[in-house]
Amino acid sequence: MKSKKWPEDWQDVNIGCIVSNPGSAREYHTGGWRAQRPICDNEKCIKCGVCYIFCPEGCIIERKDGFFEANLDYCKGCGICAHECWPFAIKMVEEG
Amino acid sequence: MGERKGMEIALAAAEAAALCRPDVVAAYPITPNTHVPEHLANIVSEGKLDAEYICVESEHSALSACMGASGAGARVFTATSSQGLLYMAEIMSIASSMRLPVVMALGNRALSGPLNIWNDHSDIMSQRDTGWISLFASHGQEVIDMIIQAFRIAEDADVLLPINVNLDGFQLTHVVEVMDFPSQSEVDAFLPAYKPFASLHPDHPCSMGTLGLPEIYSEATKAREVAIVNSRKTILKVWAEWEKAFGRRYEPVESYKMEGAQEAIMTMGSMGETAEIAIDALREKGIPVGLLKLKLWRPFPYEDVRKAAKGLKSLLVLDRAVSFGGPGGPVASEVRSSLYGETDRPAITNYIFGLGGRDVAVEDFIKMFEKMRSGDKKRSKDQYEFYGVRGE
Ligand code: SF4
Ligand code: SF4
């Protein structure tokens, strides 16, 4: 189960489906699930970090300039950051 | 050397579990199995067992705590009944899918409703397909033996599955019986320390119980099914070793007076004891009838059932649960599928009886046997029948 994304056959499934290579969730890009993406208006952002705390995916990072940005490889588009951002800086925009 | 003494079977179940030196016990009391966790709590509080006893707030938590501890490499034990088992239902399948060798003493009790605290097998049957190994004891000695065997089987590197040991509520849990208790050194020699296949340890990080997407769920399910089917080999191996060490024989289907039998009754659980007396009485009258006692419910012993049924003209399968709107009793349903492909197979009659603590006497087994033999036309068309229900 090391390098491959899925075990090839049922015989290759780890006992109890344990995942023994730490951080392997990184290999699965949940960004593919997204229907809407969060767009931040940095004019309104006060750099409070509430979005960073609430993102269930843990994919929001703090940039050097203090603003926050979602890593779209992993952002599922759940909209929680937009809902929690109290200065209303984040808007959810349809993909595509 | 062990010791022979009289004791309530629920207390004996706790003593047997303590002899296995579990690291963690997490259970929530529920009738009729209350005395199992209660007595274990005493054993721990008196310092006779060095275990973590977790007073959980529910059965859901009891099984969850056992699984967390098992994941960390501990030997774990829990006990429950009926509604308590239903409260664990969400966790039951997860325990087997995570391959955590939890051992449970299940004091069988009818499911509500109507609310009923007495014995039948509707509780375990509701959890039949959760991937646990299921053993059925017919008396106190088997309860002790099976609990000790259960740890060996569950923790075997070729098995790694949770096990429930079924003991009929009240009929077993509350009955005082004279039993042989193996000594601590005998149990230590039989049951080595648990070597976990993986454990939650910071030096060897791993994730347990992760998401299984459609790309993996089918393969994971097949791996689980193969694991429980293969556990049969280990169960038989452990039973053979048990017989060597303690002189008591265990088989998936135990025979009683089957020599030359043309007809047989099949039971599972404590009713087998009463049925034996009925068989004695029928044999005395010269009727060639025997008894088959099912000890292993999952993985179901298809080959043993086929072997046991060979040459029989008729087989009366008795069930203490009903699969509503389905094939009647769950045991008969499995027996029928075991024999479907056989050309030489007995006619099978299925009665559902002894529900919610309804007393079943020796005469009832004789009556059921005679009823089966009477060749009642209505019965032959029916897949199953309730026995002893008013208004027949
Ligand atoms: S939409 Fe959801 S997943 Fe994406 S950044 Fe916002 S909170 Fe995180
Ligand atoms: S919650 Fe809104 S205001 Fe606060 S840092 Fe995030 S985007 Fe900026």
Domain definitions of chain A by residue range: 29-94
Q: Give the Å distance between the CA of A47 and the centre of ligand 2.
A: 5
CB contact under 8 A, B198 and A20: yes
| Token pair listed for B203 | 């030096």
Q: Is the overall model pTM greater than 0.90, yes or no?
A: yes
Sign of CA dihedral B337, B340, B345, B348: positive
- Closest CB to A13 among B197, B204, B220: B220
For chain B positions 174-213, those within 8 Å of chain A (CB to CB) are 197-198, 204-210, 212
CB contact under 8 A, B98 and A17: yes
pLDDT grade for A3, boundaries at 50, 70 and 90: low
CA–CA distance, B271 with B364 (Å, rounded to integer): 11
Q: Smallest CA–CA separation between B198 and chain A, in Å?
A: 8
Strand, coil or helix: A54: helix
Q: Which 8-state DSSP code applies to residue B171?
A: T
Q: Is the pLDDT of residue A47 over 80?
A: yes
Are the C-beta atoms of residues B264 and B255 closer than 8 Å to each other?
no
CB contact under 8 A, B220 and A6: no
B253-386 adopts what CATH topology? Rossmann fold (3.40.50)
The phi, psi pair for B333, rounded to 5°, reads -60, -40
CA–CA distance, B323 with A20 (Å, rounded to integer): 41
Give the model's pLDDT for residue B377: 57
Which stretches of chain B score pLDDT less than 70? 375-382, 392
Smallest CA separation from ligand 1 atom 4, residue? A75
CA–CA distance, B24 with B53 (Å, rounded to integer): 6
User: Which residue type does B367 have?
Assistant: K
Chain B positions in Cβ-Cβ contact with residue A7 (cut-off 8 Å): 216, 219
Closest ligand 1 atom, residue A54 Cα: 7
Identify which has the larger pLDDT, B308 or A6. Answer: B308
**What does each C-alpha distance from B282 to B276, B286, B309, B348 come to in angstroms?**
10, 7, 19, 19
Q: Give the Å distance between the CA of B205 and the centre of ligand 1.
A: 27
Query: What kind and span of H or E run contains A39?
Result: strand A36-40
Query: What kind and span of H or E run contains B262?
Result: none
DSSP string, B312-379: -SEEEEEESS-BTTTTB-HHHHHHHHHHTT-SS--EEEEEE--GGG----HHHHHHHHHHHHTT-HHH
Domain definitions of chain B by residue range: 3-246, 253-386
State pLDDT tens for residues B248-273. 999 999 999 999 999 999 999 999 99
Domain B3-246 matches domain B253-386 at the CATH topology level: yes
- The crossing angle, in degrees rounded to 10, of helices B214-246 and B82-97 is 110
Burial of B45 (0-12, 13-18, 19+ CB in 10 A): exposed
Burial of B354 (0-12, 13-18, 19+ CB in 10 A): buried
Give the model's pLDDT for residue B381: 53
Instruction: Provide the terminal-to-terminal Cα distance of chain A, rounded to the nearest Å.
Output: 34
Sign of CA dihedral B362, B389, B327, B96: negative
Between 3.40.50.620, 3.30.1280.10, 1.10.760.10, 3.30.70.20, what CATH number should domain A29-94 receive?
3.30.70.20
CA–CA distance, B108 with B89 (Å, rounded to integer): 15
- The crossing angle, in degrees rounded to 10, of helices B271-284 and B362-373 is 60
Query: Is B3-246 assigned to CATH 3.40.50.970?
Result: yes
Q: Smallest CA–CA separation between B335 and chain A, in Å?
A: 29
Our answer on whether the CB atom of A40 is closer than 6 Å to any ligand 2 atom is yes
SS (H, E, C) B276-326: HHHHHHHHHCCCCEEEEEECEEECCCHHHHHHHHCCCCEEEEEECCCECCC
Q: Where are the alpha helices (DSSP H) in chain A?
A: 50-54, 80-84
Chain A positions in Cβ-Cβ contact with residue B219 (cut-off 8 Å): 6-7, 9-10, 12-13
CB contact under 8 A, B160 and A6: no
CA–CA distance, B12 with B167 (Å, rounded to integer): 12
pLDDT grade for A2, boundaries at 50, 70 and 90: very low
Locate the chain A residue with the closest alpha carbon to B224. A16
Q: Smallest CA–CA separation between B73 and chain A, in Å?
A: 14
State pLDDT tens for residues B103-113. 999 999 999 99
Q: Smallest CA–CA separation between B154 and chain A, in Å?
A: 14
Sign of CA dihedral B96, B304, B266, B141: negative
Strand, coil or helix: B54: strand
